[in-house]
Structure 1
Amino acid sequence: MSVELYPDHKAILHFQDSLKVYEIDFLDYLTEFLLHDEYAKRQFEIYVKPTLGHSAFDFIVLEPNQAIYSFQTPENLEQFQINQETFDYFMNQRLYTLSPAFQRRIQQTIFEKQQEKKEIVIKQLFYVYEESLLEEIYEEGFEDAILITSKDFKEDFSTLNDVFSVPQNSSVQLTDVETEEIKERLNPNTNIEHYISKSLPRDYQDYAKSKSQARQKFKGPHGSGKTLLLTKRVINCANRLKENGRILVISGNISKVNDLKNLITAEDGRSLQELGIDISSFQELAPANRKYQALFIDDAQYLKTAWIDYLLEHYLIEMTEENDYEYIVMADEAQLPVVPKIFGPYHTLKHDLRRINKMLKDSREIFLSILNR
């Protein structure tokens, strides 16, 4: 039996959006419950405020090769309704998983089977800490939602035991592949120990500096370091803003979302929650509860101009003289998009970082071979 916490307690204490007292209580209740003897042979991973591009998920419990349990902790009725809508979006548009590859695979199955699996392997629950909110939810006719209170953790475990009961039929469980893909999305910090930080060419250094009220667009061929430059600048922006605002990073290439998560966490060494960064593709983005202080777009050539306009209108704070914003765009020079609200020419990135990195790797190997003689 094991219950693992992601990120760890130390990282959680440094979240940019600190956990509220009732959320800390809930996390303690949940951890203690999953350590009960009846769950001794099962494994659970608790992900705190996972950055999925879906703001509705406050806590996600993953039981490898079995199921996902989504817990939300609304403070009021409006937040409860928003969380319901976002979860419905997640289930209907993204199916029950977080990966486009999953979507394609599941769409090949019979619809009824798909519905059965979705309903069993991903479960939505709400932790309600105030009696008045509980009454409001019932009055509004949301009694079908699974509502958990502190009493369920202290007095009567029947609701929780029912939620965490699992069928033995393997056809309605998460597969090994599904589990691994979900874990990669939920915890993008797994490659930090083996990652070697990459440096930028000297003439890129100024571009990597985060600046208030900056609007800049960069172009370059494949391998010129656009994504690495964006990574460095995003981290510098997080350090500059500290706790004053969150950052949204959009990957125009939907298949590179995971790579961006891994690269940023590996380069900095902190979790995305500590940095205050959300990373998503445009297609996977759910409605924002509040606007972001900074917007970074990688591979913008895959986005329509209207999509970027939409991001500016609905996700970035107003770019006025009074506001501290930052708006940065990277695009391939062979397919330059029209970038709204950034005037003037693109900054050009000319270095071939693939060739430079290969030379450095070859030099390192030669040096090590000499040392080992």
Structure 2
Amino acid sequence: MRTQVVIIGGGPSGLLLSQLLHRKGIDTVVLERKTRDYVLGRIRAGVLETGFVNLMREAGVAERMDAESIVHDGTVIAYGEDQFRIDFQQSTGESVVVYGQTELTRDLYDAREAADGKIVFNVENVTIHDAESETPHVTYQCDGQEHRLDCDFVAGCDGFHGVSRQTIPLSVRREYEKLYPFGWLGLLSDTPPVHPELIYSNSERGFALCSQRSWTRSRYYIQCSLSDSPDDWTDQMFWDELRRRLPQKAADELVTGPSIEKSIAPLRSFVTEPMRWGRLFLCGDAAHIVPPTGAKGLNTAASDIHYLYHGLLQFYQEKDSEGIGRYSERALARIWKAERFSWTTTMLLHRFPEMNQFDLRMQQADIDFLRENKDAQKVFATNYVGLPF
């Protein structure tokens, strides 16, 4: 079989690239290791930058997002009993929207299936061949049979543990990583959000985040030990600890209920360079990971898709390789800025095991400066709503 672009990974970034290219007449095949139901069962973030929203609209899959998403014009930062709001609209004229990644992915699957897009599920032993040549191909197994896909390009959207990054030789790629000494314990519940916008809280007991998926479904997080297991935490233990980490006003308004899902996510910052090797391109988690503190994970994947999509359009429509040639350079320039924002926000809001009293006072001073200084708030807001592509 032959296609123009093989996309490895059937998550939101791979599906979005496939849908965008389809609308321009460029043929793709998406290879996914799991089933559709498995992919849709993964619980992920849902804060979307303006750039991501615009890509969904360009892909023709924004109708439900535009109807059901919640617009956030700001966010709340809390430290102990003190809290203040950063106004995105006032600082930047932009907003973010909350729309669950599961729903976004469902919309993309529905669009690809309506267009008879080729998605192969339950693939195994995916191998990328001849990526440095002008005639790459991909082999994989499905239902016990070996398959081969010849193509012009391969887009690796298969996550941190996928085959795409590992295909680039160690002599070529360089990896940068920071591991954080804690994780996030997250709980999803069918309860109304405690606040119309997100609350990021730095307490003496550790970080907490009050987020949401809709007006009736909430997602909450607390900083926890990496040695913890979700089974160590009953729902009641989680709710009690969350209350202790919020300002009293928010704690008093918290509505609790049975958990739909509980999980622990470790935190890391990670970047691999380059993001292109021959005709293989890395996108999203295959190339970089950010702590979730700055709501950048899904959004950095979207910026990769933007650069790769436009580079491929330039190649196919204008016979010009400049866009694909500069893909890695352009993507990484934005990625490192997103990494910086996620790193600094993580450092600002979490309690690290090695912090002494001086460190705590410096953290307090940083938060005070952010509360009092409009220029600092503008910098925060500019990064949060998303840097331009």
TM-score (norm 1): 0.22
Q: Determine which structure has the larger strand proportion and give its number.
A: 2
Instruction: Specify the structure having the higher radius of gyration (Cα).
Output: 1
TM-score (norm 2): 0.22
Q: Determine which structure has the larger helix proportion and give its number.
A: 1
